[in-house]
Structure 1
């Protein structure tokens, strides 16, 4: 979602005042959620009473969500947004920052609208508020569900202290093609991992399961699962492009993460921009109603992405905006973001018999239920607490949490000669266009960031080395040689543009003086994210050329690779002795990075995407099906008349689940508690006779440093009624081992791990042989066999 409007949207925008055919407003009569004794009414009873007093247009108004725009607190009522709120034509606003502004709008809703229905106030709180955590793709590389919960908790605490009660997160779109920029906003290529991490973040945001009537605490906010559905499957990784896949693939590979977040109790869902079975997602009843509500039991509300009802016209499945709004409502879409379609056309559609008032009632009730669960009917100003606003945002505690989490996300890809960790001695040259940029370290979708408060990599290293070593710094190059390309990837987060020859000369000069060279290079923050699609995933040539010159000096070189996606590092792997993927690590990235590169902490992140050898391999993912003429990923030799390419072997440069440490872990004593079992009942909810099956391994830290390891469990169905992936992640454990310590790690193997959706879209487990694999990444595993009778 972006706040920039399409040209079509401008044509649709304007006043949202009630049309001439709207019902005449009844006299003002506020409804309170409490009885005379102060006890809150049950949700259904309260909303029944409220809706009985609402006019049709007021109900439709609840289905309308708009950008608040730039307002001043004293003049909020005089704005178009203020006027529309007062008339009951708006159920919520979004992307407005500032407690005073939000309170001013909430006061209009409470004091100036007929029934005083409070507003939902949303924002893209994607990976933090003012305290910024790493981008979601980086967060997933922690493989740490407790860390994800913490991210959600801190984000909710800060956002709610500034008036926000709703976030448009988590995004759990499966992305198999690194050319797609929004891969940065999700959890990678694996459905199981993405679902687990998305569910954890949802729990952090909300603190409660919103499928129940439990009221959220005032320091929690409602989450919004997005983008429903299949948005990460766009062809060629091009933003907003077509999606076309079988329903079997949807159910097995793309939809499981969404279901996991629904089962975690997410309160709202955002529809996606793309087509599903050639029907726009926003108007797709099979997806929005049959799958989401009937199959998964979702009982919250569905909001569109930015102006996506208006975009139905561009897809060519509606003749005008009125028909598009009818399609969306009947499909199960409840709230219209920025198309002005519902508020301007639904009353007319009802009068013409195109949709029913009951359709509007259902959608309105879902939104009112969300407001009830947020506690807004008991206290509409509970998110407008000035004391919290002054004491709970960007605190030392929150910053420490962000620093700790960031340190878990860095992925060490190569460490030849144990260059890392660096010693705090001598002269260290820090070179690169991302070394001293304050507004890029947080990454894309950092809407509420306050860069002036953040510490750059250069500043953090100066502080870490003070009195111990000398830090030399040079920017060295621009991000791109072409200034227009650099501007394309900035989007409000500019990086200094300098003279290429002068910057390079300065970098080479300080490199000659240094004992070791640290290069901060790669993508700028907005080279990934929405509208950040790329056709070439290699490091821009102006940066690589500088890197090559620095390597010629024969000194130790460390590459800190900034990226919002898997990038191509084939040349770098062949030439640079130490490489760490540092992503965009949030507001505390500088200090977190120093914690790792100077050895206070060992790197522990592992990839959640396969890193390609060349862009032409995309889409690239580990959990693929075999072909009829397979060639193993590790086969480097071309095989004629087999499934491979002339110029590059099939495997990734670095596999899914890969990441090094400053220590070395060994795996031994692999075992299954039983190699044979049966299914207990038709639903296959447990093994025969209540049998428990565990897969175990002993992991030892063979080094001299304490460190974390991520132990991974994979399965493979050897023969099934449909072709199954060569391996699938089904479990993982992040463990801490002291130097020399050993630990037994066990996984319960459950029937659900071996189930899949067959050609009839039935969730089944089929008898046969299964491989159970445990290892340190998706490639380096030990295989055991389990037979299911």
Structure 2
């Protein structure tokens, strides 16, 4: 643990146990700001907190209005005898005022530098509100898109997860400030809280908050990588997960928090729970009451309890009974005070909180000047780089002078930002707006609001679902026949050459608490797709979603297909520039798209099994396969098309001499352990520049434990000028070829490896090499 400074040691000596427990408690703004109707019977009473405890509280959750932050800090410093400032934390997931693509979309860019830039700009805006910590990135590995929070993740691959988590934290730390702001904000960035430790993305059946059943070996091999990336970049906080691990809730799991997080990963920062997770230990059945819940979380090493009050309500009793030591209390409080000191709060508790201006003026200022211009340009670049061309026919890029018809539920709505968006969408460029801006006058020949993919007669909705997007066909009450809809479509799009159909899921149906058993489009959208496919005109489909949906029917019906995700505030403009060929598609899938829900969980880096299915074997029954469906996804990890694609040729492998006397792989540098140089020739035969994301995979053919059929180890995105070529090199180290054995020891073995370089996990050049270490 970092040695506390003199200031921190003096505060620890002066504070009472209850004041320390207050520092270890986080509440939302409504607990502090009185309301005549709810203050006496509302938040305080619901958690059992006394009014006199409020000046002792250490941090505040999700206060976004600068005027509220300033009022809270002023009142707190007036009432706290130790003058310990409040620390404001918030969920800033993919932007503040400027909304960037959702994290899953940003992972599709395969561009960590772009993600870092977006994170830095988001941090710059957030700092102007007075917020100092963001609850991001979410580094949970996700292999099941039924889980709604997949939209916050980087997908199914451990290496990509690690790279993107590291880039996100680096960007948050960097922040952004103008020259004038830099004088007031010596630390323009945000502290980062990586979440959710650990394996939250492995919830059984993709059901939110569900049980996780995972071996320690799989945790080490795959699920820790994203957290490692964030910690490598210096994330200051870690958030516990809601789920269980080995049937022990993570918030009370001493093995995870002390042995894995603190000892193995070397984390020495602040450990905070998720929302009311300490109280939920009672529902998990590992604690009989709040006292036991507090003891379990404290024993596991939790420093801050979010939105429940078991620490402050029961901590003094635990001290008196000897179930909690003062040294353990001081350990947590020292970390919290050290974080506040490192962020400069003791010297300037108002840092970043604007004075003498209204909230509206603060928000309006985000869109002005150099920062506003840079934010919009980066949001456009990120949206364009995140969209994935899944199928290309003759309709794309849209030919000049094309008369285009536009339909579907996302044709003119600003609701394409995605979950966890802090902005309401007023500045969003819609699909229709983007096309009008990028196409000549009159080219957008028809915009149908009637054929919008939502049942005009408001079908019945399932429990908790929004009318118009009912997900259960059995309760759908269609009142428009195919023939009636076809008649309307023929009249609407009679003068159009191509029809662009926008499809997908509502942004409100993604994110936390948004698990699904059905990943199909809604019945009316499928009906609209079916009818527009009968027009005899090329049909281009664009899908907006926060997860992979079942798109086989869409692919079979349409000429071309684009996965747009939720692309943020510049999404409509980015899409228009891509469809018209002003930009080329460069996005690649960070997660596999299934053919059927029954394939889930589905991921490319699976183990081989003892009876692997080989398609060239024919109809062999007694192998690892389904009777009614293939094993492969509709679209594999890493897949994505472009208008102009380079070609890969001449894969070469060159052994390198690596140091042999270094025992701890984690302490070795790449220069120490470089063992293989991989080169490939990237050729662009086209008459314009072409961009490709070149991906390097390995397979360890024989090891102490079964290894995946493919593992991503490197990737790079490069643009090759027209008619030219470039030799691309990758260096693999011993750490890249290492794995954990059944004793959880990291090792690397002599033997044969397949080295694969290509454009997706399913399309690559391959060579086999024997390596000796």
Name the TM-score, length of structure 2 as normaliser: 0.90
- The Cα RMSD (Å) is 2.8
Deviations 1:110-130 (A, max 9, x none): 222111211111111000011
Which residue of structure 1 aligns with residue 545 of structure 2? Answer: 563
Which residue of structure 2 aligns with residue 442 of structure 1? Answer: 417
Aligned-partner SS, 1:406: helix
Which residue of structure 2 aligns with residue 60 of structure 1? Answer: 21
Q: Which of these residues, 249, 263, 266, is aligned with residue 235 of structure 2?
A: 266
Which residue of structure 2 aligns with residue 473 of structure 1? Answer: 447
Contact 2:657–2:674 (Cα < 8 Å) also in 1: no
Taking the aligned partners of 1:365 and 1:424, their CA distance within structure 2 comes to 65
Taking the aligned partners of 1:308 and 1:479, their CA distance within structure 2 comes to 38
Tell me how far 1:78 sits from its aligned partner. 8.6
Contact 1:676–1:786 (Cα < 8 Å) also in 2: no
Tell me how far 1:550 sits from its aligned partner. 0.6
Distance 1:547 1:379, change over 3 A: same
Aligned-partner SS, 1:93: strand
Q: Which of these residues, 325, 345, 349, is aligned with residue 314 of structure 2?
A: 345
Taking the aligned partners of 1:405 and 1:624, their CA distance within structure 2 comes to 30
Q: Which of these residues, 476, 497, 510, is aligned with residue 492 of structure 2?
A: 510
Correspondence 1:377-392 to 2 at 5 A: 377-386=346-355, 389=362
Which residue of structure 2 aligns with residue 727 of structure 1? Answer: 710
Correspondence 1:674-689 to 2 at 5 A: 674=655, 679-683=660-664, 685=668
Taking the aligned partners of 2:119 and 2:249, their CA distance within structure 1 comes to 30
Contact 1:490–1:524 (Cα < 8 Å) also in 2: no
| 1:762 to 2:745 alignment | yes
Distance 1:133 1:300, change over 3 A: same
Deviations 1:726-754 (A, max 9, x none): 01000100111222221111100100101
Deviations 1:432-484 (A, max 9, x none): 0111221x2110111x2131222221122222225252341113244577442
Which residue of structure 2 aligns with residue 244 of structure 1? Answer: 213
Taking the aligned partners of 1:465 and 1:157, their CA distance within structure 2 comes to 34
Tell me how far 1:73 sits from its aligned partner. 10
Tell me how far 1:553 sits from its aligned partner. 1.1
Deviates more, 1:600-609 or 1:634-643: 634-643
Contact 2:644–2:691 (Cα < 8 Å) also in 1: no
Distance 1:301 1:147, change over 3 A: same
Which residue of structure 2 aligns with residue 401 of structure 1? Answer: 378
Which residue of structure 2 aligns with residue 27 of structure 1? Answer: none
Contact 1:270–1:302 (Cα < 8 Å) also in 2: yes
Aligned-partner SS, 2:461: helix
Q: Which of these residues, 433, 457, 472, is aligned with residue 409 of structure 2?
A: 433
Aligned residues: 735
Q: Which of these residues, 94, 99, 102, is aligned with residue 69 of structure 2?
A: 102
Tell me how far 1:707 sits from its aligned partner. 3.0
Aligned-partner SS, 1:749: strand
| 1:451 to 2:425 alignment | yes
Taking the aligned partners of 1:487 and 1:410, their CA distance within structure 2 comes to 29
Tell me how far 1:216 sits from its aligned partner. 8.8
Tell me how far 1:688 sits from its aligned partner. 11
Correspondence 1:567-586 to 2 at 5 A: 567-586=549-568
Tell me how far 1:683 sits from its aligned partner. 3.4
Taking the aligned partners of 1:95 and 1:346, their CA distance within structure 2 comes to 25
Q: Which of these residues, 59, 67, 75, is aligned with residue 92 of structure 1?
A: 59
Deviates more, 1:565-574 or 1:621-630: 565-574
Contact 1:93–1:119 (Cα < 8 Å) also in 2: yes
Deviations 1:747-772 (A, max 9, x none): 00100101111100011111211111
Contact 2:403–2:442 (Cα < 8 Å) also in 1: no
Deviations 1:465-521 (A, max 9, x none): 2525234111324457744249625999xxxx9985788764443223311100110
Contact 1:672–1:695 (Cα < 8 Å) also in 2: yes
Contact 1:76–1:105 (Cα < 8 Å) also in 2: no
Contact 2:683–2:726 (Cα < 8 Å) also in 1: yes
Unpaired segments of 5 or more residues in structure 1? 1-41, 209-214
Distance 1:772 1:127, change over 3 A: same
Distance 1:581 1:359, change over 3 A: same
Aligned-partner SS, 2:311: helix
Unpaired segments of 5 or more residues in structure 2? 176-183, 470-476
Q: Which of these residues, 494, 502, 505, is aligned with residue 523 of structure 1?
A: 505
Aligned-partner SS, 1:361: helix
Aligned-partner SS, 1:116: coil
Taking the aligned partners of 2:418 and 2:468, their CA distance within structure 1 comes to 11
Which residue of structure 1 aligns with residue 296 of structure 2? Answer: 327
Tell me how far 1:687 sits from its aligned partner. 9.4
Which residue of structure 2 aligns with residue 704 of structure 1? Answer: 687
Distance 1:503 1:271, change over 3 A: farther
Distance 1:167 1:445, change over 3 A: same
Contact 2:389–2:585 (Cα < 8 Å) also in 1: yes
Which residue of structure 1 aligns with residue 179 of structure 2? Answer: none
Distance 1:563 1:153, change over 3 A: same
Q: Which of these residues, 533, 537, 560, is aligned with residue 515 of structure 2?
A: 533
Deviations 1:507-554 (A, max 9, x none): 443223311100110111122211211112122221011111111111
| 1:354 to 2:330 alignment | no
Q: Which of these residues, 378, 384, 387, is aligned with residue 410 of structure 1?
A: 387
Aligned-partner SS, 1:693: strand
Distance 1:500 1:343, change over 3 A: farther
Q: Which of these residues, 607, 612, 619, is aligned with residue 630 of structure 1?
A: 612
| 1:545 to 2:527 alignment | yes
